[in-house]
């Protein structure tokens, strides 16, 4: 090894050794590139998500109906549509809110985009997957004030 930490090619190195060293250098360069890519993904994940104005408006209308209908229970979009068919007041409000957003696929995409974003005092949290799709829950966000301590 040289003082720089890089392997030194001796005068009697074979062509095979030279090829292996070149391959190792390529692998190291690839790993450095992957680390850089991973760092960029981590930076993007830690940056706050931004929703379009249309998404925010749809969610502001949808979240209170969701919270009233399912409370803190975990749900899938499929289950939301089944629940919305019930003849009870929270389901009727949920049915209207879901209809305003669109079909189940559109609702699912909207909720995935909204995951972890505070909108209108609520937040969607992903809780895994089932055969019916992503499992979600809606939580009410409470903001601390200065007097809360």
Exposure on the CB side of residue 97, measured as CA atoms within 13 A: 25
Q: Do 131 and 142 meet the contact criterion of CB atoms below 8 Å apart?
A: no
pTM, entire model: 0.61
What would the DSSP string read from start to end of 40-89? HHHHHHHSPP---HHHHHHHHHHHHHHHHHHTT--B-HHHHHHHHTSSSH
Residue by residue, pLDDT tens for the chain (149 residues) are 455 555 555 556 688 888 899 999 999 999 998 998 888 777 766 656 678 999 999 999 999 999 999 998 999 999 999 989 988 888 889 999 999 999 999 999 999 999 988 999 999 999 988 888 889 999 998 865 555 55
């Amino acid at each position: 090894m040289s003082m720089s930490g890089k392997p030194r090619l001796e005068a009697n190195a074979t062509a095979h050794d030279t090829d292996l060293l070149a391959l190792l250098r390529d692998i190291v360069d690839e790993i450095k590139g992957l680390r850089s890519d991973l760092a960029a993904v981590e930076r993007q994940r830690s940056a706050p998500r931004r929703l379009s104005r249309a998404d925010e408006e749809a969610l502001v209308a949808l979240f209170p109906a969701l919270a009233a209908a399912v409370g803190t229970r975990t749900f899938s979009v499929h289950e939301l549509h089944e629940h919305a068919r019930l003849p009870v007041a929270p389901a009727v409000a949920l049915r209207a809110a879901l209809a305003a957003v669109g079909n189940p696929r559109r609702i699912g995409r909207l909720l995935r985009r909204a995951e972890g974003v505070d909108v209108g005092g609520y937040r969607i949290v992903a809780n895994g997957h089932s055969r019916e799709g992503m499992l979600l829950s809606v939580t009410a966000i409470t903001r601390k004030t200065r007097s809360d301590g």
